[in-house]
Structure 1
Amino acid sequence: MTADDRFAEDFRQARADLPLGTRNEIITGPVSDWATDFSHLEAEWAADPYRIQDELRQRCPIARTGRFGGGWLPTRYEDVAEIAYDTERFSSRSIIMSNFRPPRELAPVGGTPPISSDPPFHRDARRLLLPAFTKSAVAGREQATRAFCHSLIDTFEGQDVVDAARDYAQHIPVRVIADMLGFPPDDGPRFREFIENALEGVNLPPEQRLARMEQLFEYLQEQIRDHVDHPREDLTTYLVNAELYGQKLAPSHVAGTMALLLIAGIDTTWSAIGASLWHLAKTPADRGRLIADPALLPTAMEEFLRAYAPVTMARLVKDDMHWHGVGMKADDWVLLSFPAANRDPAQFERADEVVIDREVNRHAAFGLGIHRCVGSHLARMELRVALEVWLERIPEFSLADPAAVAWSTGQVRGPRALPVRVAPR
């Protein structure tokens, strides 16, 4: 048996040995009261979560729901931060709130380490990834990213209206992550399907959702097999050869980390780029300031990340307990809404405004605690370059039809349709 065959067999066995978790009934439909029946999957939430979060912060800072087997939603910065840092009482073994709870046996590794890992395993799994995401490593990818952004805008020639999300924002992280992992860049449509299955398909029957996830892991197995046969200088080959505690990484660890990078590394950045372009399309004063003073962009970019933070993460309560006056049960979900934390007026002055020259901006867009995004340098580079190139090439643009803008549902929020009227330079 070759090394490739052994890895593939180990991978299949690891997937087969995964125990089933707790399944809950699918609960959909209109929300009766956001304080007692919240749902982050409803169209009303996708269209404008900030109004709802502001109301909850005043009424009951920790909302609850019976959907998905029970869950909680803190909306104050201090509560979100406290839970994010509390690894003793809250587990990260599943970071997507759905009708399926992975079993406790998956801890402390989880299905997509290190984001699904609990201490002490988390620290060592995270440390493996750090070299690929240093500032110097990210800087080495900037030139290719900039050239790709220009090539995307080249395709707009002759068009009066383009979709800034579909035709621009979504393609940038797809190309960057595919290059990092050594995946075929033409597989972008498959990546978007995997993302939709993972992040927006959480209301599907558990069996159907698991079957869709298997499609992702079958694809990853194909890529791993190819990298075992044809090693090269990329992150996949690095993970296949990496060691932890004196042993090669388990096949499930390799594939899980690759799945994390493929899904989280694309959708979050795609959403941040799209939301920033949406703001600039509807706010000509801010767009004009950035055109006149490009040096302001890094500061403005941080404000876009604060105001339109795309990511909400989930935790699972480890044991029954009372927490800040609410009775949490073991395996209750807790949604850590970093967007809500970033709009808390107790933490930020003029929290509901976008202030592109905000000087003090310790936002939580990249998370808080031990799971703060390992790829933050990469995401910032992609966002900055995407905006620099767009503003250089298309300084004048506006929403073609505000009603046609569509936002994703679930725990990563960003424009999925963003038609803008453009006047290329």
Structure 2
Amino acid sequence: MAVDDRFTRDFREMQEDRPLGTRNEIVTGPVSDWATDFSHFEPEWAADPYPIQDDLRQRCPIARTERFGGGWLPTRYEDVAAIAYDTERFSSRSIIMSNFRPPRELAPVGGTPPISSDPPFHHDARKLLLPAFTKSAVARREEATRAFCHELADGLEGQDVVDAARDYAQHIPMRVIADMLGFPPEDGPRFREFVENALEGVNLPPEERIARMGMLFDYLLAQIRDHLDDPRDDLTTYLINAELYGRKLEPDHVAGTMGLLLIAGIDTTWSAIGASLWHLAKTPADRERLVGEPALLPTAMEEFLRAYAPVTMARLVKEDMHWRGAEMKADDWILLSFPAANRDPAQFDRAGEVVIDREVNRHVAFGLGIHRCVGSHLARMELRVALEVWLERFPVFALADPAAVTWSAGQVRGPRTLPLRIG
């Protein structure tokens, strides 16, 4: 099959044709006061954001910063939920708080639909993805996921100390997403680079960010061309052939959605698996209980998701307004912290504790409102299988050096190095 005319234009050129939007200056550096100068890229936030969030919730529940060109950080569950559900006053055209804003002309589609889309377009773009992420569709991937987890564990056997983040957790969602999209599994190391560029490079000049994202779109274009020449039963071929409003998807819609699945589908689950293993490594009573009561794992897993929710999303204020005591301006950022909401004592009993047999647990690790994670069934399957296999293969493990654990900065938080002593 010849390359479809829709995909003959380089995606880098598509991105460069768009205006960069509002540009701001470098945004990182020591924080003077978290209530008036917050930055989620500082080392102390990456290492342990929860005391900071708890303090803000008590004395300044909607914090303000002049960084990033101006933004807000609500820390109460009720405020986070209210913003997540309010699509009239808050836009999702950019969900990564960075040093520049995409132009308003990108709405309602955004660069990575459907997560960057506003109503009414969002509903229809999201609906296209639902069949691939149903419980039954996800269940068909469990056997291969379990086999791959055992394969990874085989490679760790015989070692005294292993890096559970680098050598186990990160590879599981990489393989699952590669299989779903029909990408070569050996491209995993490139996926990590794409993730870091998208989520941890927000302090770069806009031109450099565009160039780095261009690397991702170059890769996606190559995969799309390969699928046009050799169609197969995977999500990439499905998106190429999908129709919306009686016509096939625009090329940047196809690429944007593929980029979303590749980046969000990897980093969030990688982080959740790593954080869960970190907790069990430093909490032997919980580890021993789960080894002895494997039926408790699904309940414990939900508590890990609550207590160590990896994802924070961003919104943009649509128009100047007074909102719950905050004088918000058009295009102010809102940093929508689901981790902070999950530890609000007004919503959860013993909110700051990890209670692995917590019975009532309506956490918001997967978000709220129209943008609740479309891949939540997939993420839960990967997390459960990863933990089941690990506990089966390595029932005894502990932190090799607590000080050597490092965490990612930014809006997806999880262990990036996690040295564990096994056996």
TM-score, normalised to structure 1, is 0.98
Give the whole-Å Cα distance in 2 for the aligned partners of 1:294 and 1:261: 31
Poorly superposed stretches of 4+, deviation over 6 Å: none
Alignment of 1:90-105 (within 5 A): 90-105=90-105
SS at match of 2:4: helix
Q: What letter matches 2:210 in structure 1? A: L
Determine if contact 1:64/1:71 at 8 Å carries over to the other structure. Answer: yes
Determine if contact 1:4/1:229 at 8 Å carries over to the other structure. Answer: no
Q: What letter matches 2:311 in structure 1? A: V
Report what 2:287 is aligned to. 287
Give the whole-Å Cα distance in 1 for the aligned partners of 2:15 and 2:55: 43
Give the whole-Å Cα distance in 2 for the aligned partners of 1:361 and 1:412: 21
Report what 1:304 is aligned to. 304
Q: What letter matches 1:182 in structure 2? A: G
Q: What letter matches 1:309 in structure 2? A: A
Deviation readout 1:264-314 (Å, 9 max, x if unpaired): 000000000000000000001001111111000000000000000000000
Deviation at 1:2, TM superposition (A): 3.9
Give the whole-Å Cα distance in 2 for the aligned partners of 1:368 and 1:398: 34
Report what 2:368 is aligned to. 368
Deviation readout 1:13-34 (Å, 9 max, x if unpaired): 6434322211111122100000
Report what 1:169 is aligned to. 169
Report what 1:394 is aligned to. 394
Give the whole-Å Cα distance in 2 for the aligned partners of 1:278 and 1:11: 39
Q: What letter matches 2:160 in structure 1? A: D
Give the whole-Å Cα distance in 2 for the aligned partners of 1:349 and 1:182: 43
SS at match of 1:73: strand
Report what 1:141 is aligned to. 141
Deviation at 1:386, TM superposition (A): 0.1
Determine if contact 1:14/1:251 at 8 Å carries over to the other structure. Answer: no
Q: What letter matches 2:134 in structure 1? A: T
SS at match of 1:100: coil
Report what 2:126 is aligned to. 126
Report what 1:354 is aligned to. 354
Deviation readout 1:113-145 (Å, 9 max, x if unpaired): 000000000000000000000000000000000
- The alpha-carbon distance between structure 1 residues 349 and 6, as it changes in their structure 2 partners (threshold 3 A), is closer
Give the whole-Å Cα distance in 1 for the aligned partners of 2:117 and 2:149: 34
Q: What letter matches 2:393 in structure 1? A: R
Report what 1:32 is aligned to. 32
Number of aligned positions between the proteins = 423
Report what 2:152 is aligned to. 152
Deviation readout 1:23-54 (Å, 9 max, x if unpaired): 11112210000000000000000011000000
SS at match of 1:101: coil
Report what 2:274 is aligned to. 274
Report what 2:413 is aligned to. 413
Report what 1:236 is aligned to. 236
Report what 2:255 is aligned to. 255
Deviation at 1:326, TM superposition (A): 0.9
Give the whole-Å Cα distance in 2 for the aligned partners of 1:12 and 1:204: 18
SS at match of 2:9: helix
Deviation readout 1:203-238 (Å, 9 max, x if unpaired): 011111111001000100000010011000000000
Report what 1:42 is aligned to. 42
Give the whole-Å Cα distance in 1 for the aligned partners of 2:319 and 2:140: 45
SS at match of 1:23: coil
SS at match of 1:22: coil
Determine if contact 1:71/1:333 at 8 Å carries over to the other structure. Answer: yes
Unaligned runs of 5+ in 1: none
Give the whole-Å Cα distance in 1 for the aligned partners of 2:79 and 2:161: 43
Give the whole-Å Cα distance in 1 for the aligned partners of 2:11 and 2:25: 30
What root-mean-square deviation, in Å, do the aligned CA atoms of Structure 1 and Structure 2 show?
Answer: 1.1
Determine if contact 1:3/1:228 at 8 Å carries over to the other structure. Answer: yes
Give the whole-Å Cα distance in 1 for the aligned partners of 2:210 and 2:62: 30
Give the whole-Å Cα distance in 2 for the aligned partners of 1:15 and 1:63: 33
Give the whole-Å Cα distance in 2 for the aligned partners of 1:274 and 1:12: 33
SS at match of 1:356: coil
Report what 1:323 is aligned to. 323
Q: What letter matches 2:173 in structure 1? A: P
Report what 1:64 is aligned to. 64
Deviation at 1:91, TM superposition (A): 0.2
Determine if contact 2:199/2:410 at 8 Å carries over to the other structure. Answer: yes
Report what 1:15 is aligned to. 15
